[in-house]
Structure 1
Amino acid sequence: MAAQRHLLNLAAKAAIGLAVLLAGFVKFEPAPYELYMVVLIPLWALFGLRLSVSIAPLVVLLITFNVGGMLSMLVMDKLYNTPLYLAVSLFLAFSAIFYAAVIRQRPDILKTIMIAWTLSGVVTSILGMAGFFGVPGLGLFTRYGRATGVFEDPNVFGPFLVPPTLYLLHRVVTGPVHAMAVRAIPLIIIVLGIFFSFSRGAWGLLVIGVAMELGLLLLHHRSGLFRLRILILGLAGVALLGISVAVVLQIPAVSELFTVRARLVQDYDGGHLGRFDRHILGFKLALEKPLGIGPLSFGRMLGEDTHNIWLKALMDYGWLGFASWFLMIVLSLGGGLKIMFRERAWQPFLLIAWVGLLGHTLLGFIIDTDHWRHFYLLLGMVWGCIALEARFQAGTLDAEGKTIGRPAPPPWTNRRVRKIEEQQA
């Protein structure tokens, strides 16, 4: 029985790990990630997935957000591919709920998620950089002369790499000294992947994320020795990053693109009907359209998408969608912050996911994030940790993440075996 349980646990971790890996390979919709998850979610639900009251706010707000999109679709004269777009939106909402529910049942899945995310980040970074430097046959991993990895857009590729960067940084700072070099190698690869995405949003997200990660670690750990360690490693990291950037900027093509992308305001940002002009027009229009103007209609009307998740919510999901998204973000960040510094086995993962979610929320002011797979993964991780804290407070889980009392049977355990175990309990 123990051997069977161990094998099933490994299968469960492998299934989640593969899902996270596939989240880093999105060239089109529906992506392989959707095709895999559309099988995994019902299968897991059939053999043991359970929702809890602790994640009910997330469930309700994600559903009402998507209901807003469906209502907004009613004002459209022609649907185009809107039904598929909303189907993907609803599916991604279910994916966040799924991750939260799985983490609540199995806290050890958090480590699996971050390891798989890191592996995916390393692979897609290498492919993106190989394409950028002209390796034959790998040009499909670039776009607009920028690294995209196995993503369609470099502006999604770059932010995808930030959470694994924070994870590796956390492991370097808090882990044993002898393991620093080993962990620093994938960290450097992923950071270079972010750099070669030439995404201003990703660069800003990286800087803010690293600063917040280290700042929260300083608040959490009162030891003077630990704080000195963070200071030394931080200075060493900045120096290493500076040297690396200085070296790659010696390449003319890199230097030229960096000069263009480093400008705070691009040509498409300012001017008549530029990004900021469209934002103003959109928010004015939202005051007259409680149901919005229909998903994806803004881009067809003005030639470019909203590039602002809050305006996107108003235009594509209406006032109901906007209110739902706003409340979801507030409750997610507030709930995560409330339990941030409690000594739990899942606290490091909560810190990484919370910083990532906050950073992506800020990034949402200049780009649409409602179809980013990894955004919903971060959301699910935060709510999963909130649900774990609820289990801890209820006395069914200890601070190490171990179930108090008889552990619940893992997914895919034979129903008859589970029934016998329950009768014996």
Structure 2
Amino acid sequence: MSAAAHELPREAVNAKLVSLIASGAIVLGILMSGFVQREPTPYDIYMVGLISVWALFGLRISRCVAPLLVLLVLFNIGGLIAMTQMADLMDTPFYLAVSFFLALTAVFYAAVTEARPQFYRLILNAYVVSAVVTSLFGIAGYFNLFPGAEVFTRYGRAAGVFKDPNVFGPFLVLPGIYLLHRLMTGPALRMPLVAVPLLAIMAGIFLSFSRGAWGLFGASAILLTGTLFLQSLSGKFRLRIVLMTIVAVTLLLLAFIAILQIPGVEDMLTNRAKLAQDYDSARLGRFARYAIGFQLALEKPLGIGPLVFGQIYGEDTHDIWLKALMDYGWLGFVSYLTLTLWTLAAGFRLLLRDRPWQPYILCAYVVYVGHIGLGTFIDIDHWRHVYLLLGLIWGGIALEHRYQRERRPASPDDDFRALTAAPNSGAAGALPATQ
């Protein structure tokens, strides 16, 4: 037997080992994303190392992912320019370093999912585990289920292993929507396996008492249901969606009534359900600061510097668009607006296409759309899961481009052969295996 014949199994084993290590590294990073107390977080430190190592061993940024990188870099350059307008730099260099790092995580997730579409399922499953764990901590904290559990609450609201319930709640939405998608499209026998973690995540969202998280989950669920309804031509499947929606709404109402019987929940809910809180409509409240900030942006096109707005007016911008103008200047604002519109337009084209990765893109897209709306009322600049959403969508954009390119005939002769090929000629047009 030749020496080459002995090398093949070893190469196959090495390739499998590398794949397992890569998968494990991605899973560990996603699991750590659910623990955010202060910056830098363990996730930040770990991902800096992971991206650096991956770059050394072949992280490839395709031309389809390059616009994401360019726009995020321009956004951060805007922050550097705005920093020159500051008399006291405070913690601004560190803040911008975190911003740039988070931008790199979006590019990283886009690049690895483009190279290995199987990572989509891995990432979403790991995200579900992380969300369930931090939800359980939040639930335990809210009900004080063990001594010291109150550390998992803030302001009487569930916060899990997050420093802010207003970030904790939105963090749970993508895994919740992903489980809802599996519940709607998966086999009936597996519904209990999906329903249990979904209930834990929904309890975490509710007990966060974050109006943004409530609206985000509701809007994302409606968009998901509507897209699934339009996507399917099967009357049976559409009927299933309608029936499941009716059942889900009924169960939610019953659960809502039951939760209201818990002492303290009704008062908190009544307070948080107000459309405008005192800090929103006060003389220098959130809405007043919007008007002041947008007027100031006309006078300061280079921005006033990261974190300065809160120093002047006592509270931060609580609006990602105003945040971009104040902290990153007009260059940052235009870059962020361009990135948002590009992501929405290019991602929308993928929603109704039958691809293996389409369900994951759909879940990420509807949640991203919700975050754009949410960003009008709260600052989402350093929300780590938002950059994950961007990466997942742009990975799908790049995959679709490659899919279309591989299907495109290379010459008129190829075009003729494609048109005259037998319908059952095999897997022509299938996406080639990825490296």
- 1:378 to 1:363, Cα distance in 2 relative to 1, 3 A: same
- 1:63 to 1:26, Cα distance in 2 relative to 1, 3 A: same
Task: Provide the residue aligned with 2:257 in structure 1.
Answer: 246
Task: Provide the residue aligned with 2:301 in structure 1.
Answer: 290
Once the two structures are superposed, the pairs formed by residues 14-413 of structure 1 within 5 Å of their partners are 14-135=24-145, 136-395=147-406, 404=432, 407-408=434-435
Q: Classify the secondary structure of the residue corresponding to 2:281.
A: coil
- Alpha-carbon shift at residue 403 of structure 1 (Å): 5.9
CA displacement, residues 276-309 of structure 1 (integer Å, 9 cap, x when unaligned): 0000100010010011111000001000000000
- Alpha-carbon shift at residue 404 of structure 1 (Å): 2.2
Residues 130, 138 of structure 1: 8 Å contact kept: yes
User: What is the TM-score when the length of structure 2 is the normalising length?
Assistant: 0.91
Task: Provide the residue aligned with 1:419 in structure 2.
Answer: none
Whichever residue aligns with residue 200 of structure 1, its letter is: R
CA distance in 1, matches of 2:279, 2:396: 40
- 1:241 to 1:69, Cα distance in 2 relative to 1, 3 A: same
- 1:84 to 1:177, Cα distance in 2 relative to 1, 3 A: same
Per mean C-alpha deviation after superposition, the further-off stretch among 240-249 and 289-298 is: 240-249
Residues 162, 202 of structure 1: 8 Å contact kept: yes
Task: Provide the residue aligned with 2:423 in structure 1.
Answer: none
- Alpha-carbon shift at residue 7 of structure 1 (Å): 2.2
- Alpha-carbon shift at residue 394 of structure 1 (Å): 2.1
Residues 343, 399 of structure 1: 8 Å contact kept: no
CA distance in 2, matches of 1:104, 1:404: 12
Residues 406, 429 of structure 2: 8 Å contact kept: no
- Alpha-carbon shift at residue 399 of structure 1 (Å): 9.5
Residues 70, 86 of structure 1: 8 Å contact kept: yes
Whichever residue aligns with residue 28 of structure 2, its letter is: L
- 1:225 to 1:327, Cα distance in 2 relative to 1, 3 A: same
Whichever residue aligns with residue 272 of structure 1, its letter is: R
Considering only CA atoms, is the larger Rg found in Structure 1 or Structure 2?
Answer: 2
- Alpha-carbon shift at residue 245 of structure 1 (Å): 1.5
Residues 162, 205 of structure 1: 8 Å contact kept: yes
Task: Provide the residue aligned with 2:14 in structure 1.
Answer: 4
Structure 2: where are the runs of 5+ without partners?
Answer: 1-10, 409-425
Q: Classify the secondary structure of the residue corresponding to 1:387.
A: helix
Percent identical across equivalent pairs?
A: 54
Residues 68, 317 of structure 1: 8 Å contact kept: yes
- Alpha-carbon shift at residue 401 of structure 1 (Å): 11
Whichever residue aligns with residue 21 of structure 2, its letter is: A
RMSD: 1.6
- Alpha-carbon shift at residue 400 of structure 1 (Å): 12
- Alpha-carbon shift at residue 402 of structure 1 (Å): 7.7
Residues 29, 43 of structure 2: 8 Å contact kept: yes
Residues 345, 401 of structure 1: 8 Å contact kept: no
- Alpha-carbon shift at residue 57 of structure 1 (Å): 1.1
User: What is the TM-score when the length of structure 1 is the normalising length?
Assistant: 0.93
Residues 79, 96 of structure 2: 8 Å contact kept: yes
CA distance in 2, matches of 1:138, 1:9: 39
Structure 1: where are the runs of 5+ without partners?
Answer: 409-425
Paired residue total: 407
CA distance in 2, matches of 1:96, 1:306: 24
